[in-house]
Structure 1
Amino acid sequence: MRKIDWHVVPWLAVLYLLNFLDRGNIGNARLYNMQNDLHITDSQYLVALTVFFFPYSLFEPPSNIALRRLRPSRWLSFIMLVWGIAMTLHGVIRNYGGLVGLRFLLGLAEAGMYPGVVFYMSCWYKRSELGTRVAVFFSSATVAGAFSGLLAAAIHNMDGIGGKPGWAWIFILEGLFTVICAVASFFILQDFSDTAKFLTETERVWVVRRLQDDMKFSAAGETFKMKYVWQSLRDWKTWIAMGIYMGFDGPLFSFSLFLPTIISQVGFEATVANLLSVPVYAWACVVTVSVGFIGDRLGRRGIINLVLFSIGLVGYIILISSTNPSLSYFAVYLAASAIYPTIPNSVAWVSGNVEGSYKRSATLGMAIGWGNLNGAVTSNVYRAVDKPWYRLGHGITMAYVGIGWLCSLAFMLLLQRENAKREAGLRDEVIEGEHNLNAREENGCYKSVEEARMEKGDDWSGFKYSL
C-alpha cells in the first residue's frame, strides 16, 4: 500500500496544485493593475470569471467517461497541456475579448481534472482508506492558495521586464510550468490497478481482490454499458450529492477568487493582502488532512459534514455582522475550516456509497459538475459597490453553506433508513435454488448472489451504505 501511495498520490497532488493555482491566480493578478491595463470594468471582470464555469461544469461528466475509456495517463495529461497553454496566453492578451475567450478555454480544459482524479483514486483504495488519500491530494488546493499569494508577490517584481507588467508574468511563468508538468505526466501517471506497471502480477491480483472484498465488484476491468449512466441518473443519491457539492463548491470559488480582495478591502494593501492569505490556506491544509484522517478512522462522514458546515455558518455570520478588520480576518479562518475539509470528506462519502466504476464516474461527474456550475453564481456575488464589507456576497455564500448542511443531513438519514430496510430483508432478491422467505420478485431474480451483486451494484441487498 505504501508503494501505491507513493506512485499515485504525490503526483496527483502536484497536478491539482497547478489546477487550482492556474484557476485562481487571476484574483492575485487583479491586485496588480490587471483591470486597468486591459481597460475592463468591474462587471466585465465578473463576466470573465463567470464564463469559466459553464464549460468547466458541463464538461465534467463526459470527461469522466472519456477518462475511463481513454486511460488516465493520456487524458489527464492532454487536458493539462491544453490548460497550460491557455494560462500562458493570459499573459499576452490585450483586451476584454481575449480574456473571455481564454477563460472559456481554461474552463473547458480544467473540467476533467478534479472529478477525474477523484474517480481514479476511488479505483485504487477501499472506502475506509479513501478519505485520507483524497484529503492529502486535495490539501494541495490549500497549498496552492498559500503559494499563489507568495508567488504573485515575488513574480510581480518582474514588472517591466520584456515590456510586460508584473501581472502578465504571473500568468506566463505559471502557465509554462504547467505545460512542462503536462508533458511529464504522460510518462509518470499510471493507469488502473489491474494494469499498473509498478506492481507485480501478484500485487495486481491482490489489489483487485481487496477492492472486490470492499464491495467494489467492478475493480477488475468493468466494460462500459450505457445502463450504468442511466443507473446514476435514476439514483436519488446522485441528486442529493449534487446538493452537498453545491454547498461547498459555491463557497470554494468565491473564497479562492476573492480572498485577496476581501482582505485588501478591510484595510490592507495589495502585497500585504496576498501575503495575509498565506496563513489562511496553511491552516486550511492542516484541518483538511486532519479531517481526512479522522473520517477514515471513525467512518462517520455525515456527522463530520454537519459539524464542518456549522463552523462555516458561524464564520459567515461573523463576516456579515463584523465591522472590525481583525474579527473579519479571524472569521475567514472559520470559513476555510469549513469549506476545504468538507470537500474530500464528501468525496469519500459519496464515492464509497456508489458501486460500479462507470456509475461512480457518472455520479461524481454530475455532482462535481453541478457544484462547480454554482461557481458561476458565487463569482459574481462580491461586487465592487459592496466593499469594504461585502455583506451581500457573504450572505449568499452562507446560504450555500446552509444548503450543504441540509443535504448532508438528508443524505445521512436516507442512507440510514435504507440500511435498516436491508437488514430487515425488505430488499432481498430471489436467488435461484435458495429458499428465502424475505425474497421478493420486485427486487429482481438472479441465478446466483454473485450475479445479483454485479448487476445491481450498490442496490444489491448485501451492500451496506457507510454513514
Structure 2
Amino acid sequence: MRAVLGKSAPSMHEEVSREVTSPDVEKQYNLAPYVDADGGDYKSRFPNIDEAKVVRKIDLRVVPVLCVLYLLAFLDRVNISNAAVFGLKQDLKLGGNEFNTALVVFFVPYVLFEIPSNALLKHFKPHVWLSLCMFLFGLITLLQGFTHSFGGLVATRFFLGVVESGVFPACFYLIAMWYKRAEAQKRYSFFFSSTTLAGGFGGLLASAIGKMDGIRGYRGWRWIFILEGLVTCLASFILFFTISDFPEEVTWLSTEEKEFVKARLYEDVGHSKRHDPLTLKSVLEVFKDWKIIVGGFMYFGLIVPAYGYAYFAPTIIQSLGNGMIRTQLLSVPPWACAFTLAMITATLSDWLRKRFIFVLIPTAVSLTGFIILLTVHDNNHLQYAALFLAAMGTYAAMPIIVCWFNTNLGGHHRRAVGTAWQVGFGNIGGIIAVFAFLAKDAPKYIPGYSICIAFIAVSVLANTIYFLGVSWENRRRDALQAQGAFDGLSHDEKKRMGDLNPDYRYFR
C-alpha cells in the first residue's frame, strides 16, 4: 500500500494484487474464507446476542484486573521517590547524581525488552506471562528494601526494569484485542489512569508506612519497599486466576459469544491473525510504515514530563517548605485531579470519535503548568497549583495518544510490534527525565522544567504529523476507491489486511 503513492488507479490495482500474493508473514493473509466474513452487519448474524451485555461482561473481566496489575507495577516503579523523602539518599550515602543514576538504570532494560516481551506474549498466555512478571517485580521491590549500598540499589533497579518491561505494552495490546476503536478510549484511559491512582495511593501509603520508621530496626523508606513489594507478590497469585487471555481462549464466554466478539472486531479492524508466527521479517515489515516511527515520538515527548513529575514531585513539594509526612499527603491531590481529567477527556473523545483535539487540549494544560513552574519561584501556592496542571495535562493526554495509535493498527502483529515500539522508544524519555532534575538545580529546577517544555513541543509536533498523515491517507483511499482501484479484492481479502485494508479509515 505504501509503495503505490502517487500512482494511477490501474497501477494501484496491480500493486494491491501483488501485496495480496506477497510471501511476507504480515501481508500473506490466509485466503481461505473466514467463518464470520460473509459481510453485512455482524449484529444480524448473532440475533441472540445482546452486545451491550457482552461488552459489560468484558468490562468486568478484562480491564479492572489489568488496572490492579499496572497500579502495583507503577507503584513499585516510582515509590523510590517517596522513599527518597524518608532518607534513602542519606542512609545509602548517595552523593552527586547517584540517585539519578539509580533511576536511569531502570529504563535501559525497560526500553530494550519491550518488543521481545510482547513477542513472548504470543507464546505464553497473558494470565501466565503477566502474573509471572508481577510476582518478579514485586519480589525485586521487596528486596530493594534490604539494599545497603549504591551498587545494590542500582542492581535492583536494573532487574526491576527487566521484569516490568513486558507489562505495560502487553496490557495495552491485550485490551486492543477486545474492544472496537470507537469504544476503546474510556477503557484505555481508565487502565492508564492506574498510574495516577498509583501516584495518589503511593503518597497516602508512604505517609502511613513512614510512621513505621525504626520498627524492627528498619527505616521508614525500607518498609515502603518491603510492604508494597509483598502486597504485589501476594496479588500476583490472585491475578494468575483472574487475568483474561485473548477472546479466542477465555472460558467465561460461550462459543457463540466468542464468535460474536471476533466478528465485531473483524468488522472494525479486520482479521486478528492471532496464531500467525511473529518473525524477525514480519517485525521489520511493520517498521516500513512511517506511521509506526511517528507513533514512538508522539509518546516519547510526553514521557519526559510524565516521569519528571512522577519521580520528582515529592522532592519539589518538600522544597516548598513542607515536612516529610505533609509532603506525602500534598502529593496526592494532583494525581486525583489527573485521574478525573483523564476520564472526562476519554469519555468525550469516544463520544465525539475524535482523538487529536483531545490530545492538544490536555497537552496545553500541561504546558501551562510547566511554564508557571519555570517562571515563578516566589509564590508557593501558585507553584503547587502549577503541579496540578502539569500532572493533569500530561497524564490525561498520554492514554489518548497510546490508544489513538494502538487502535489504528489492525491485527496481532502490527499491534504487538507497534505498541511495544511506541512504549519502548517512548520510555527513552525516562532516561532524559531522571537527569533533567539534578540536585544542584534545586529548588528552581530551571533546566528540568525547560527540558519538559521542549519535549512537550516534540510530542505536539509528532501528533500533528500523525494527524495530518492519517487524514491524508483517508482522503487518498477515498479517491482511489471512487476510481474502483480496489474492486479486484474480495471483502474477506480486504479484512485480512488489517489497517492496510483500502476500505479502512483511521481515527483522527
| 2:485 pairs with one of 419, 439, 460 | 439
1:306 offset after TM fit, Å?
A: 1.5
After TM superposition, the structure 1 = structure 2 runs for residues 90-239 of structure 1, keeping only pairs within 5 Å, are 90-218=144-272, 221-226=274-279, 227-239=281-293
The separation in 2 between residues aligned to 1:73 and 1:91, in whole angstroms, is 28
CA contact (8 A) 1:266 1:325 kept: yes
Equivalent in the alignment of 2:452? 397
Aligned CA distance change for structure 1 residues 312 and 447 (closer, same or farther; 3 Å): closer
| 1:336 pairs with one of 381, 384, 391 | 391
Q: Deviations over 1:200-256 (max 9, x none)?
A: 1111111111111112321x6341243542232111111111111012112111110
The separation in 2 between residues aligned to 1:437 and 1:276, in whole angstroms, is 61
The separation in 1 between residues aligned to 2:270 and 2:400, in whole angstroms, is 19
Aligned CA distance change for structure 1 residues 129 and 258 (closer, same or farther; 3 Å): same
2:128 is aligned with 1:56: no
CA contact (8 A) 1:248 1:404 kept: yes
Quote the sequence identity (%).
38
Question: Amino acid of the residue matched to residue 170 of structure 1?
Answer: I
CA RMSD of aligned residues (A): 1.5
The separation in 2 between residues aligned to 1:437 and 1:204, in whole angstroms, is 37
Q: Deviations over 1:13-55 (max 9, x none)?
A: 1111101110000000001111111111141111000100010
Equivalent in the alignment of 1:364? 419
2:370 is aligned with 1:316: yes
Question: Amino acid of the residue matched to residue 257 of structure 1?
Answer: Y
Question: Amino acid of the residue matched to residue 223 of structure 1?
Answer: D
The worse-fitting range, judged by mean Cα deviation, of 283-292 and 307-316 is 307-316
The worse-fitting range, judged by mean Cα deviation, of 266-275 and 297-306 is 266-275
For residue 374 of structure 1, give the secondary structure of its aligned residue in structure 2: helix
Question: Amino acid of the residue matched to residue 293 of structure 1?
Answer: T
Equivalent in the alignment of 2:431? 376
1:390 offset after TM fit, Å?
A: 0.8
1:171 offset after TM fit, Å?
A: 0.2
1:381 offset after TM fit, Å?
A: 0.9
Q: Deviations over 1:390-441 (max 9, x none)?
A: 111011011111111111111111111111110001xx5xxxxxxx95428x
Query: Unaligned regions of 5+ residues in structure 1, if any?
Result: 429-435
Q: Deviations over 1:44-100 (max 9, x none)?
A: 111000100010111111111111221101111111111111000011111111000
The separation in 1 between residues aligned to 2:489 and 2:438, in whole angstroms, is 61
Aligned CA distance change for structure 1 residues 332 and 216 (closer, same or farther; 3 Å): farther
Equivalent in the alignment of 1:353? 408
The separation in 2 between residues aligned to 1:447 and 1:280, in whole angstroms, is 52
The separation in 2 between residues aligned to 1:311 and 1:402, in whole angstroms, is 13
For residue 196 of structure 1, give the secondary structure of its aligned residue in structure 2: coil
For residue 92 of structure 1, give the secondary structure of its aligned residue in structure 2: coil
For residue 424 of structure 1, give the secondary structure of its aligned residue in structure 2: helix
The separation in 2 between residues aligned to 1:60 and 1:140, in whole angstroms, is 20
The separation in 2 between residues aligned to 1:181 and 1:446, in whole angstroms, is 53
2:119 is aligned with 1:78: no
Question: Amino acid of the residue matched to residue 83 of structure 1?
Answer: F
2:497 is aligned with 1:466: no
1:447 offset after TM fit, Å?
A: 6.0
Equivalent in the alignment of 2:47? none
CA contact (8 A) 1:87 1:171 kept: yes
Equivalent in the alignment of 1:272? 326
The separation in 1 between residues aligned to 2:212 and 2:385, in whole angstroms, is 32
CA contact (8 A) 1:14 1:140 kept: yes
Q: Deviations over 1:333-371 (max 9, x none)?
A: 111121111121112200121111111110010110011
For residue 355 of structure 1, give the secondary structure of its aligned residue in structure 2: coil
The separation in 2 between residues aligned to 1:386 and 1:35, in whole angstroms, is 17
Equivalent in the alignment of 2:11? none
CA contact (8 A) 1:264 1:273 kept: yes
1:278 offset after TM fit, Å?
A: 0.6
CA contact (8 A) 2:269 2:411 kept: no
The separation in 1 between residues aligned to 2:147 and 2:502, in whole angstroms, is 57
For residue 252 of structure 2, give the secondary structure of its aligned residue in structure 1: coil
The separation in 2 between residues aligned to 1:62 and 1:159, in whole angstroms, is 40
Q: Deviations over 1:249-302 (max 9, x none)?
A: 121111101010011112222221111111110101111111111111112101
Question: Amino acid of the residue matched to residue 287 of structure 1?
Answer: L
Q: Deviations over 1:370-392 (max 9, x none)?
A: 11111011011111111112111
The separation in 2 between residues aligned to 1:156 and 1:269, in whole angstroms, is 12
| TM-score (ref. length: structure 1) | 0.94
The worse-fitting range, judged by mean Cα deviation, of 96-105 and 191-200 is 191-200
Question: Amino acid of the residue matched to residue 330 of structure 1?
Answer: A
| 2:357 pairs with one of 261, 285, 303 | 303
CA contact (8 A) 2:267 2:495 kept: no
CA contact (8 A) 1:16 1:140 kept: yes
The separation in 2 between residues aligned to 1:298 and 1:138, in whole angstroms, is 20
The worse-fitting range, judged by mean Cα deviation, of 222-231 and 243-252 is 222-231
CA contact (8 A) 2:103 2:434 kept: yes
Aligned CA distance change for structure 1 residues 90 and 416 (closer, same or farther; 3 Å): same
For residue 270 of structure 2, give the secondary structure of its aligned residue in structure 1: coil
